[in-house]
């Protein structure tokens, strides 16, 4: 079969070349359509359950809410780990399933279990909510809204009404979370003295306020020609209508809410806040779903934000404080640059050694074609473009030309000998025979490489999900190069080398290498024992050094976005957290190494961080100058945190924190877990 492929490729050489051109165009187009992200989807399927419990202490939340929910979901089929955190007024339970579990089915199973546990929860506790599906590195963009004259309460109302709804309409957006600002609400501030004077209880006031904003159904009025809906319209449209709502009657005179309370529009109790560069702000975080690539979603967000900004007050400034696409572009550009540089280096070396543009074209054509075929195969497997797949392609650059070089060089030597022979045979037969000679060697070399890379596919868990795409990208490129060597390379040899005289393949580079290599070879053959001893000693020395080398899961990313979690003493208020954040912003905002310094204090509704008011996140975006001196910038952060007593900081990059959380459940490099048996 393989011989038939070789023969067909030589006979139909122009058809093979045209097919290669078509595949190149197809692969180039496919490259523009593949999803782009920083990492493959490395998190196992998981379902997050959030339960609001206003007023309950962490101990009560854990015993009354978290433990019943954990007990209910523990027996769900496919569950591998259950993690939970309980804070003031909030319970967050993360149910992690085995790899390969369908996330939609997992959410359905968890929903069924939650229905069974709802009756066991306290009456005033809201029903548990399952968070939307989000990517492990889900936050794609963050905005900070600041205003000069417009009250932040009005800005928050516009964000909740216009910005959030517009962003959620974008395909691929899973969550929009807002920190800070004042949530607008109607407030009834009761005067105890007036309650006593009118002999009215607080429960009656509460019932009256609740009933003042309700429509009532009254059935239908039916006549022979039409039917009319009868309803009692009780929805309030102004604060005055609420103030004039009746509680009860005394001696035929109604007692209204305004008689016993001050009815006004005020701000709801804050559990979270935000600021930017020392100015109060509303921080909006936008999370995406795992099926969508970050650049596409980000472009859609940019388009939506342009529409939204037109409807905001003129004094409201929208600052982009985080953009994951920037890091993706930076990382992809680095890997792409390495890919480009590797291709150039390989091309220069080939030209130097071959010194023949025809043979260079035959060998170099294998690089783009093999890579594009590899990307096509990755696309069929459902893989996208990320740093790991591009890394595999970069490693494969030096190997994809090997098969083509072997085939071309053997054909070149055979054709040259045939031209010098007294009775030459047909050159196409020479190309066929020389290709058959090296066919087994080419295939065996590819198989050996595949066997060497096979252990990478034995990795499980997060490690396997991250590194397996790199191995797949490398292997599909290598196998594609073997296919190219068996089809395109013989076809090009038949086109470019058969109808013209071929000079000697001994170039000045090969002659120079011979002069260097032969003396070394002579030394090795004359003193083999010494060479083996030196090699063995080098191996032992290398093995001795291995235990002293540092060990990390992945190298540190040069991220421009730093997420610095800071924890104050338990019981610290939201205002105290804001003061610490403001102090840090004042200390850093004049430093040119920091582009923006943003604070997210406490917790926002829907956020997975079940922290109290004493938790804050200082989001720092480094400038070009700060990125060049990243270590110095981080050291500056540590110095400023050290000036504030009672603050425990955790400094790191956004992606690093997210990966740490997936691995251990916490955003730290080191996590200690204590289990207590009673």
Q: SS3 letters for 377-410?
A: HHHHCCCCECHHHHHHHHHHHHHHCHHHHHHHHH
Write the pLDDT tens digit of every residue in 602-644. Answer: 888 777 776 778 888 888 888 888 888 888 888 888 888 888 8
For residues 57 and 87, is the Cβ–Cβ distance under 8 A? no
For residues 605 and 90, is the Cβ–Cβ distance under 8 A? no
Question: First-to-last CA distance in the chain?
Answer: 69
- Per-residue tokens: 573: 């208020």
Residue 317 pLDDT greater than 80, yes or no: yes
Architecture (CATH level 2) of domain 561-664: 2-Layer Sandwich (3.30)
Looking at domain 2-33+356-506, what is its CATH homologous superfamily? Answer: Multidrug efflux transporter AcrB transmembrane domain (1.20.1640.10)
State the average pLDDT over residues 344-363.
73
Write the pLDDT tens digit of every residue in 567-584. Answer: 888 888 888 888 888 999
Domain boundaries, the chain: 2-33+356-506, 44-134, 184-267, 561-664
Domains 2-33+356-506 and 184-267 in one fold: no
44-134 CATH choice from 3.30.70.1430, 3.30.1330.10, 3.40.640.10, 3.40.50.620: 3.30.70.1430
| Helix (H) and strand (E) counts in the chain | 25, 20
State the average pLDDT over residues 467-482.
85
Query: What pTM value is reported for the model?
Result: 0.80
Of the listed ranges 91-95, 432-436, 597-601, the least confidently predicted one is 432-436
Residue 664 pLDDT greater than 80, yes or no: no
Is CATH 3.30.2090.10 correct for 184-267? yes
Give the long-range contacts of residues 340-348, CB within 8 A, separation 24 or more: 342/394, 342/397, 342/398, 343/367, 343/397, 346/397, 346/398, 346/401
Write the pLDDT tens digit of every residue in 196-253. Answer: 888 888 888 888 888 887 777 778 888 877 888 887 777 777 888 888 888 888 877 8
Question: CA-CA distance, 300 to 317, in Å (whole number)?
Answer: 20
Q: Between the ranges 29-38, 508-517, 552-561, where is the mean pLDDT highest? A: 29-38
Residue 458 CB partners (closer than 8 Å, separation 6+): 464
Residue with tokens 């967050």: 92
Of the listed ranges 182-186, 409-413, 502-506, the least confidently predicted one is 502-506
For residue 58, what pLDDT is reported? Answer: 84
For residue 145, what pLDDT is reported? Answer: 93
Write the pLDDT tens digit of every residue in 414-424. Answer: 777 777 776 77
């Amino acid at each position: 079969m393989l011989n038939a492929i070789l023969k067909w490729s030589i006979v139909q050489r122009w058809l093979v070349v045209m097919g290669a051109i078509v595949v190149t165009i197809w692969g180039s187009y496919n490259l523009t359509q593949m999803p782009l992200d920083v990492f493959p989807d490395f998190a196992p399927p998981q379902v997050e359950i959030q339960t609001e419990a206003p007023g309950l202490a962490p101990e009560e939340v854990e015993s009354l809410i978290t433990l019943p929910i954990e007990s209910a979901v523990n027996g769900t089929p496919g569950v591998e780990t259950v993690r939970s955190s309980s804070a003031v007024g909030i319970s967050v339970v993360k149910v992690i399933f085995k790899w390969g579990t369908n996330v939609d089915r997992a959410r359905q199973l968890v929903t069924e279990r939650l229905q069974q546990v709802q009756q066991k929860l306290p009456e005033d506790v809201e029903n548990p909510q399952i968070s939307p599906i989000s990517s492990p590195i889900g936050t794609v963009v963050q905005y900070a809204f600041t205003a000069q004259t417009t009250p932040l309460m009005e800005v928050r109302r516009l964000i909740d009404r216009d910005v959030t709804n517009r962003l959620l309409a974008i395909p691929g957006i899973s969550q929009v979370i807002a920190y800070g600002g004042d949530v607008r609400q109607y407030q009834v501030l009761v005067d105890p003295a007036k309650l006593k004077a009118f002999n009215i209880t607080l429960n009656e006031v509460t019932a009256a306020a609740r009933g003042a904003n309700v429509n009532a159904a009254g059935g239908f009025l039916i006549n022979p020609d039409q039917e009319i809906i009868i309803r009692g319209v009780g929805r309030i449209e102004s604060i005055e209508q609420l103030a004039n709502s009746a509680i009860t009657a005394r001696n035929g005179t109604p007692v209204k809410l305004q008689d016993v309370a001050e009815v006004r529009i005020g701000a709801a109790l804050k559990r979270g806040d935000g600021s930017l560069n020392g100015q109060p702000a509303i921080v909006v975080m936008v999370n995406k779903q795992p099926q969508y690539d970050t650049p596409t979603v980000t472009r859609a967000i940019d388009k939506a934000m342009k529409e939204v900004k037109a409807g905001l007050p003129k004094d409201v400034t929208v600052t982009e404080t985080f953009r994951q696409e920037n890091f993706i572009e930076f990382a992809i550009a680095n890997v792409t640059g390495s890919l480009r540089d590797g291709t150039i280096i390989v091309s220069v070396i080939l030209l130097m050694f071959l010194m023949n543009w025809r043979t260079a074209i035959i060998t170099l054509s294998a690089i783009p074609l093999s890579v594009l075929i590899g990307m096509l195969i990755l696309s069929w497997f459902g893989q996208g473009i990320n740093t790991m797949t591009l890394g595999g392609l970069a490693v494969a650059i030096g190997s994809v030309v090997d098969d083509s070089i072997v085939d071309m060089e053997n054909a070149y030597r055979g054709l040259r000998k045939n031209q010098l022979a007294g009775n030459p045979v047909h050159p196409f037969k020479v190309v066929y025979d020389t290709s058959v000679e090296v066919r087994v060697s080419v295939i065996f070399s590819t198989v050996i490489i595949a066997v060497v890379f096979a252990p990478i596919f034995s990795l499980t868990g997060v490690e396997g999900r991250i590194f397996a795409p790199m191995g797949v990208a490398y292997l599909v490129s290598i196998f594609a190069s073997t296919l190219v060597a068996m089809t395109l390379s013989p076809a090009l040899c038949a086109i470019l080398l058969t109808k013209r005289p071929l000079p000697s393949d001994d170039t000045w580079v090969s002659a120079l290498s011979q002069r260097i290599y032969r003396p070394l070879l002579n030394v090795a053959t004359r003193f083999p024992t010494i060479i083996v001893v030196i090699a063995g000693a080098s191996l032992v020395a290398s093995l001795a050094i291995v235990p002293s080398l540092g060990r990390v899961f992945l190298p540190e990313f040069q991220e421009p976005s730093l997420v610095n979690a800071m924890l104050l003493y338990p019981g610290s208020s939201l205002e105290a957290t804001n003061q610490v954040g403001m102090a840090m912003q004042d200390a850093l905002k004049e430093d040119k190494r920091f582009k923006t310094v943003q604070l997210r204090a406490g917790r926002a509704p829907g956020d997975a961080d079940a922290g109290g008011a004493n938790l804050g996140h200082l989001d720092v975006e480094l400038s070009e100058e700060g990125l060049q001196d990243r270590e110095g910038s981080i050291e500056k952060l540590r110095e400023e945190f050290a000036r504030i007593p009672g603050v425990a900081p955790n400094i790191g990059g956004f992606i690093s924190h997210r990966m740490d959380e997936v691995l251990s459940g916490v955003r730290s490099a080191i996590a200690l877990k204590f289990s207590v048996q009673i």
